[in-house]
Amino acid sequence: MTLAEIADHLFRAHGVHFVPSVIWRFFDRRNITFKKTSHASEQGRPDVAAERAA
């Protein structure tokens, strides 16, 4: 989920507007991080493997 998607969700759920930078600062000040995995789980699926091979 991107910062823009979080902002959109907050607007739809609570009716409040936040720009992505405000959300970033909220997470940053609380040392909340979200890291991508080094190996996407989709790579193990047969259909994805077949497409990558082609």
Q: How would residue 8 be classed by pLDDT, with cut points 50, 70 and 90?
A: very high
Share of the chain above pLDDT 90, in %: 56
pLDDT in tens, 9-36: 999 999 999 999 999 999 999 999 877 6
Which residue do the tokens 């080094």 mark? 38
Whole-number pLDDT of residue 15: 96
Residue 7 has pLDDT above 90, yes or no: yes
CA–CA separation, 26 and 3 (whole Å): 11
Q: Torsion angle, CA of 45/39/41/44, rounded to 10 degrees?
A: 20
Residue, of 44 and 14, whose pLDDT is higher: 14
